[in-house]
Amino acid sequence: MNIPIRVLIVEDSEDDTLLVVRELKRNGFDVIFERVDNHKAMEDALVKQEWDVVIADYSMPKFSMQGALELQRKNKPDITFIMISGTIGEEIAVEAIKAGADDYVMKDRLKRLAPAVKRELKEFEERQVLKRMEDAMQALIKSTVIKTGQDVFCRIVESVQEWLDTDYVCLGQIIDVDKVKVLSMHADGEFKYDCIYELKETLCEIVVKEGFCYYPEGARKLLPKQCECVSKMEAEGYIGTSIRDENGKNIGLLWLASRQKLVLPPRTKEVMEIIATKACSEIERMRMEETIRRHNEELETLVEERTARIMELERQRVENEKLAAAGRMAARVAHEINNPLGGISSSFILLKDAIPVNYKYFEYVDVIEKEIGRITRIVKQLFDLCRPHKGKISEFNSILSIREIINLLKILGDERGVIVSLNDCKDILKVTISEDFFKQILYNIIKNAIEASPRGSEVNIIVKDQNSLLIVMISDQGDGISDELRPKIFEPFFTTKDKYTDSGMGVGLSTTKSLVESMGGSLGFTSEKDKGTTFTIILPTNVIKQQDDNKD
C-alpha cells in the first residue's frame, strides 16, 4: 500500500521536479505535490494547504534555499525540510543543517531521497506523539498544582486510566526492602488506599529489579496475594514502571492491568515514566516533610551547638589576629630599636673603661649600664611576642578535623548560599601535628573561601597523603586575586575582604602562614581572575619525626 504524502517542491526546473516526484513514487509514496520558485508562491502554498515535507533546491535564479528555509520556519516550523542540490559541497550542506534544514540530498544521489523522507517523517511523527504526551503531562501538572498528597496520587491514577484506557491502576510506595504500601489504586470505579503487599515472586518485583515490565497475558497468577483489593483483580495484561529518586533508588512503582490481553501502545513506557516522575516528586515531598517534622527539634539543637562553637572559634580567631598584629608591630619596633641599641651598648663599654672611678659623676655610669640592660630585655620580650607559640603535638585523624570545621562553617555557608564539599578521600588519615593549629588554619582558609564565593557556588576541598606529607587544597569560585595583589597576600595588615566583610585586621592569612610554617609546612596559592583561588596547605604527617630527621 502506497504511503500518501504532500510535498511542496521549491524548484525552478520542472524536469528536476518530475525526477524528485518519480523517485518518491518509485519508493512507495502516493505523491501530491506543488512546485514553486519564488517567495510569494511559496508563502501562498504554505497558507492554503498542509504539507508533510518541503524539498528545496539550493540554487535558483529567483529564490534561494536560505529564503525558503526562513519562510518555512516562520510559517510552518514543524514541517520536514530537505535540501537538494547538484553543486554544493559538504561544508555548505553542513551549514544548511545547522541553519535548520533536516537533511540534504545531492541530485546525482536521489536514491537517498526516499529513505531520508521516510526517516524524517517517522521522526516528525515521534515528535508529535511526544508533544501530545507533554501536553497531557502539562494538563496533569495544572490539575495538581494546588493539590498535595492523596489528591495528587488520585489524579495520577485517574490520568493513567484515562490516557491508556485500562481497567486497573495502582501507585505504590516501597516502605521496606520487599513491601509496598498502596498510595492510590483505581479499580472498578473506586479508589482504594493504604493496603500493603509483598513484592516477592510477583510482577511488581520484576518492575523494581528491572525498571519496567510488560506482561501481555496471564498476569493474574503473578499479582500480589496479601492485598485483597489486588488479589481479586481479574487481570490478564500488565505494565509497570519503577519510581526512582534522583540517585536512582527505587522508592515506588506505578502499574496498570487490564482484563484483556494487553497490546503495548506506542510510547506507553515513556508516558508512564513521565507520570512516575510526577509521582516521585510528590512522594519525595511527603518524605521530606515527614523527615523535617521528625528531626526539627534535633536540628535546632545542632544549630545552637554549632553556633556556639563557631562564635567561640571566631572569638579565638579575632583574638589571634589581635595578638598577631601586636606581635608584628612589636617585631618591627624591636628591630628598629635593636640596631641603635647595639651601637649605644658598644660605645658605652668604651666610655666606661675610659672614665676614672673617682670621677664625680661616676655613679651615673652604673645607672646607664642598668638602663641599657633594661632596654635590651624589653627588646628581647618584643621579639618573643612576635614568635608563634609551640602548639601541643598529638596524633589525630585529620579527616575528622576537616569535617568538623566544615560542619562549624555550614551556617555561614548556608547564609551565603555556598556549599563546602570534601571530595573523595580516606575516612582515616592519621597525622602527628598540633590539632589546634591545624583546625585554626582550616577555619581561617575555608572561612575566607566562603566569604569570597558568589551565591550558588561551591568550595571544594581535596585531601592527599603523599610522601609523608598531608596536602589540603581548598578552592573557591570567586573573583580571584589580581596580579598586583598577589605579592601582598601574606603581608600583615593586608586584606582583600572589603567586598565581603568589614571584620578582621588583615592578619589572618599572615597568622595562618606562620602557624603552618611553625609545624614545618608551607602555605601557597594559585588564582585565576573570575575563576577563583586555590590555597594549598602542605604539612608533615609527623612533625616530631621530621624534626628528628632534620637534626640528623
Residue-wise pLDDT tens digits, 159-199? 787 777 788 999 999 988 889 999 888 887 788 887 899 99
- Say if CB 63 and CB 12 are below 8 A apart: yes
Q: Judging by DSSP bridges, how do beta strands 53-57 and 168-176 pair with one another?
A: unpaired
In a domain, 459, yes or no: yes
pLDDT at 501 over 60: no
Q: Which phi and psi angles does 449 have, rounded to 5°?
A: -65, -40
C-alpha cell at 516: 603552618
- The CATH number that applies at residue 512 is 3.30.565.10
Among 5-9, 98-102, 142-146, 364-368, the minimum mean pLDDT is found in 142-146
- The CATH number that applies at residue 8 is 3.40.50.2300
Number of structural domains found in the chain: 4
Cβ-Cβ contacts under 8 Å for 229 (sequence gap 6 or more): 182, 185, 187, 192, 195
In a domain, 135, yes or no: no
Q: Which of 118, 511, 121, 457 is nearest to 316 (CA)?
A: 511
Q: Which phi and psi angles does 332 have, rounded to 5°?
A: -65, -45
In a domain, 138, yes or no: no
- Percent helix, strand and coil across the chain, each to the nearest 5: 50, 25, 25
Domain co-membership, 341 together with 403? no
Q: Of the candidates 369, 386, 403, which is a domain's last residue?
A: 386
Helix spans in 52-202 (H): 65-75, 90-99, 113-143, 150-164
- Higher-pLDDT residue of 339 and 281 is 281
d(CA 107, CA 549): 81
pLDDT in tens, 199-254: 999 999 999 999 999 999 999 889 988 788 788 888 899 999 999 988 889 999 99
C-alpha cell at 133: 504526551
In a domain, 296, yes or no: no
Strand order of the β-sheet with 532-540 is 419-422, 458-466, 469-475, 532-540, 522-528
C-alpha cell at 181: 504500601
In this prediction, residues 315-336 reach a mean pLDDT of 69
In a domain, 202, yes or no: yes
Vertex 325: Cα angle to 321 and 326 (nearest 5) = 120
- Supply the mean pLDDT for the chain: 83
In a domain, 145, yes or no: no
In a domain, 140, yes or no: no
pLDDT at 526 over 90: yes
d(CA 479, CA 530): 4
Domain co-membership, 285 together with 174? yes
Domain co-membership, 406 together with 371? no
- Higher-pLDDT residue of 65 and 460 is 460
Check residue 420 and report its DSSP letter.
E
Q: Judging by DSSP bridges, how do beta strands 469-475 and 458-466 pair with one another?
A: antiparallel
Give all strands (DSSP E) within 188-310, no chain letters: 190-192, 196-198, 212-215, 237-244, 250-258
Domain co-membership, 540 together with 400? yes
Domain co-membership, 181 together with 309? no
Domain co-membership, 103 together with 180? no
Q: Give me the domain span that covers residue 503.
A: 393-551
Helix spans in 393-475 (H): 398-408, 410-416, 435-452
> pLDDT class for 42, splitting at 50, 70, 90?
very high
Domain co-membership, 415 together with 381? no
- The CATH number that applies at residue 157 is 3.30.450.40
- Say if CB 533 and CB 527 are below 8 A apart: yes
d(CA 171, CA 194): 11
Q: Of the candidates 328, 359, 386, which is a domain's last residue?
A: 386
pLDDT at 143 over 80: no
Domain co-membership, 115 together with 176? no
pLDDT at 95 over 60: yes
Q: Of the candidates 258, 289, 320, which is a domain's last residue?
A: 289
Q: How many CB atoms lie within 10 A of CB 298?
A: 9
In a domain, 298, yes or no: no
Q: Which of 45, 109, 57, 111 is nearest to 81 (CA)?
A: 57
Helix spans in 355-426 (H): 363-386, 398-408, 410-416
Domain co-membership, 400 together with 544? yes
In this prediction, residues 441-449 reach a mean pLDDT of 92
pLDDT at 514 over 70: yes
Check residue 2 and report its DSSP letter.
P
Domain co-membership, 406 together with 545? yes
Domain co-membership, 207 together with 310? no
d(CA 131, CA 139): 12
Q: In the block, which residue shows the cell 602548639?
A: 391
d(CA 314, CA 319): 8
Q: How many alpha carbons fall within 13 Å on the CB side of residue 462?
A: 8
Domain co-membership, 398 together with 547? yes
d(CA 262, CA 270): 17
> pLDDT class for 330, splitting at 50, 70, 90?
low
Give percent of the chain with pLDDT exceeding 70. Answer: 86
Please classify residue 146 by burial: count the beta carbons closer than 10 Å to its beta carbon, then call 0-12 exposed, 13-18 middle and 19+ buried: exposed
Q: Which of 280, 281, 225 is nearest to 252 (CA)?
A: 280
Query: Which pLDDT score is estimated for 241?
Result: 94
> CA separation (Å) from 485 to 190, 488, 491, 502, 506?
72, 5, 10, 19, 13
